[in-house]
Amino acid sequence: MTIEQLKIILSGQPKDVVTALQKSSFVLPGWADLDKQYDPLKHRIITDTSAYPPKLNELGQDEFKRTPYALQKLAVNRISQALFAQPVERLYSSEEETDNSRKAKDILEQIYKTDNYIDSENIERGKSLNKSCQIATVWKVFEKPNIVKGIQAKLKLTHKTYSEPDGYKLYPQIDENGDLIVLTILYTDSEQKEHCFVYANLEKPVLLVYDKLADWVQNTDLSKELTFFPVIYGNISEPVWGGLAGTKIVEEIEEIENFDSLYIKKNASPVFVLDMGDTSGMKGSDVTEKTDDAKRIIKVGKGGTINDATWAGAPESTNNKLKRLRNAFFEQNQFPDSSFANFLGSNTSADNKELLFSDSRSKAEDLAGEWEKFFYAELNIIKEFAKIMFPSLATEFDGFSIRSVVKPYSIRTKKENAEYVSIAGNSMSQETKVRVLGEVDDISKEVEDINSEQSAAANQGF
């Protein structure tokens, strides 16, 4: 879409505008389908009674317990944690380091990291993106006097992330250069009224708000021109559990587990053999076995016998298949099955456990590239808002660039990190050592403090 085409659409009637903008430049799985895979209570083992009909006993009770596995949800949580359990590192670079430039960096960190709890937000955004395949974050300022790093501000920075699991429908469209030109957000409020937000990246960006009454009408009170385009959008082509391919594995695991549970229940009741002696001339019993019998009695005549004809290898074969399927799911999605049971039962050393996470780290690094682009664009927006909030430091905000580095989760302990830094010796700069240790937010100040202390200690030695 071009700006000219977008302008033509926006000049139409509200109903036509909303209809025309309910299109996306990206072909992504719909949340309605993904939700059925993600939510364990919507899995086929629960909902598809034609494929898995009830197994009724004599009391009319369903013996089929329908136990789902929440492995898709586990995949989303594990990959999101692998990406953001260790906070994203921001590297600032500027041509000249001054007191004002340092203050500008401190202010930006305060309004972005602390005031907008961005480290926690990244985990939540990761979960939303990894399960629904798209998210959008919109930043804005509102009037609220506050003090940041000793400087009075009349405005406060805030944000909101939109995703389909939270009830928002997203329709992004890009221009010929691949840049986001318009984002349309539709949602229904608690009173079942429909609303539409349109963020259009024209020469002068605008927010247009439409409400559906008898028909769609523009909300002129909320519609407004924007100083700049405040929207960040991201997507992935499939959910992190591998989409339908991963779900097929989970469905087979659930099927085996549930049918095996039926077999176990049926054969868990005690069985007693009653020797009736010589039964010649006796009538055969017409008593039939019931599934709700507390115990089962099998009558055998004198000299008779009864043997278990069950395949002895059935339980072992079933367990082995379940293990293969479960391993296939985790291997396919590149993260370890690091449950408490697995780790407690393992004698693996800390170094080898780090190796177990190597594939997970590789997947996190694959995903990290798009996130780092996402953060680069986002921080440019934060800088623009910071210039409005703190106009006296506008030059300083323009004077540095920021690169974000996603640091995939590592199980190294603080002691192991310290030993690593110690062994590195002069192969690392002081700043790099402080960064690897990860104990402080302000790396430059920490390096200055270390050098000051070392200098003071050296002077005392004389």
In tens, the pLDDT along 417-431 reads 666 667 766 777 777
How high is the pLDDT of residue 258? 84
What are the φ and ψ backbone dihedral angles of 101, each rounded to 5 degrees? -70, -35
Q: Which contiguous run of DSSP H or E holds residue 423? A: helix 414-424
Mean pLDDT of 62-91: 89
Q: Are residues 424 and 388 in the same domain?
A: no
What DSSP string describes 221-239?
Answer: TT-EE-SS--EEEEE-SS-
56-70, 294-308, 380-394: which is most confident: 380-394
Number of other CB atoms surrounding residue 210 within 10 Å: 22
HSE-up of 388 (CA within 13 Å, CB side)? 15
How high is the pLDDT of residue 13? 96
Q: Are residues 26 and 101 in the same domain?
A: yes
- Rounded CA gap, 327 and 359, in Å? 14
- Rounded CA gap, 196 and 115, in Å? 28
In a domain, 448, yes or no: yes
Identify which has the larger pLDDT, 69 or 422.
69
No. of H helices and E strands in the chain?
Answer: 16, 13
How high is the pLDDT of residue 2? 93
- Rounded CA gap, 318 and 384, in Å? 60
Mean pLDDT of 119-134: 96
pLDDT in tens, 356-404: 556 667 778 888 999 999 999 999 999 999 999 999 999 999 999 999 9
How high is the pLDDT of residue 215? 94
Give the angle subtended at the CA of 392 by the CAs of 390 and 398, to the nearest 5°: 80
In a domain, 47, yes or no: no
pLDDT confidence bin for 48, thresholds 50/70/90: very high
How high is the pLDDT of residue 44? 94
In a domain, 59, yes or no: no
Q: Which contiguous run of DSSP H or E holds residue 459? A: helix 443-461
- Rounded CA gap, 384 and 116, in Å? 16
How high is the pLDDT of residue 76? 93
Q: Is the pLDDT of residue 288 over 90?
A: no
Q: Are residues 395 and 422 in the same domain?
A: no
How high is the pLDDT of residue 247? 94
How high is the pLDDT of residue 268? 64
Give the angle subtended at the CA of 399 by the CAs of 232 and 91, to the nearest 5°: 60
Q: Are residues 406 and 422 in the same domain?
A: no
What are the φ and ψ backbone dihedral angles of 116, each rounded to 5 degrees? -110, 20
Q: Which contiguous run of DSSP H or E holds residue 157? A: strand 151-162
How many domains does the chain divide into? 2
Give burial (CB, 10 Å; 0-12/13-18/19+) of 375.
Answer: buried
- Rounded CA gap, 336 and 353, in Å? 10
In a domain, 58, yes or no: no
Q: Are residues 125 and 188 in the same domain?
A: yes
Identify which has the larger pLDDT, 108 or 60.
108
pTM for the structure as a whole: 0.80
Q: Which contiguous run of DSSP H or E holds residue 121? A: helix 118-132
Residue 2 falls in which region: left (phi positive, over 0), alpha (psi -120 to 50) or beta: beta
What are the φ and ψ backbone dihedral angles of 133, each rounded to 5 degrees? 80, -5
pLDDT confidence bin for 333, thresholds 50/70/90: low
Distance of CA 332 to the CA centre of its chain: 17
Mean pLDDT of 262-275: 68
- Rounded CA gap, 286 and 23, in Å? 69
How high is the pLDDT of residue 54? 86
Q: Is the pLDDT of residue 58 over 80?
A: no
Mean pLDDT of 151-161: 96
pLDDT in tens, 181-206: 999 999 999 999 999 999 999 999 99
Q: Are residues 454 and 378 in the same domain?
A: no
- Rounded CA gap, 242 and 72, in Å? 9
In a domain, 173, yes or no: yes
Q: Are residues 387 and 456 in the same domain?
A: no
Q: Are residues 178 and 207 in the same domain?
A: yes
Nearest Cα to Cα of residue 149 among 102, 93, 89: 102
How high is the pLDDT of residue 462? 46
In a domain, 63, yes or no: no
**Which of 373, 394, 411 is at the close of a domain?**
411
Virtual torsion, Cα 34, 37, 42, 46, nearest 10 deg: 150
How high is the pLDDT of residue 55? 83
172 and 200 Cβ atoms separated by less than 8 Å: no
Nearest Cα to Cα of residue 63 among 275, 273, 269, 208: 269
Q: Are residues 202 and 235 in the same domain?
A: yes
Q: In what order do the strands lie in the sheet with 134-148?
A: 151-162, 134-148, 231-235
Structure tokens at 178: 């691949």
- Rounded CA gap, 171 and 198, in Å? 9
pLDDT confidence bin for 261, thresholds 50/70/90: confident
How high is the pLDDT of residue 313? 59
- Rounded CA gap, 315 and 338, in Å? 24
Looking at the DSSP bridge assignments, the partners of residue 183 are 172, 199
Q: Is the pLDDT of residue 177 over 60?
A: yes
* Domain extent at residue 427: 418-461
Which residues, including other chains, have CB under 8 Å from residue 264's CB and lie 6 or more apart? none
Q: Are residues 400 and 440 in the same domain?
A: no
In a domain, 74, yes or no: yes
Q: Are residues 367 and 430 in the same domain?
A: no
**Which of 411, 434, 451 is at the close of a domain?**
411
Q: Are residues 223 and 185 in the same domain?
A: yes
Number of other CB atoms surrounding residue 83 within 10 Å: 29
Q: What percent of the chain has pLDDT over 90?
A: 54
Distance of CA 150 to the CA centre of its chain: 36
**Which of 372, 394, 411 is at the close of a domain?**
411
First to last CA, the chain: 72
Three-state SS at 92:
strand
Identify which has the larger pLDDT, 95 or 268.
95
Q: Strands 296-300, 271-275: parallel, antiparallel or unpaired by DSSP? A: parallel
In a domain, 350, yes or no: no
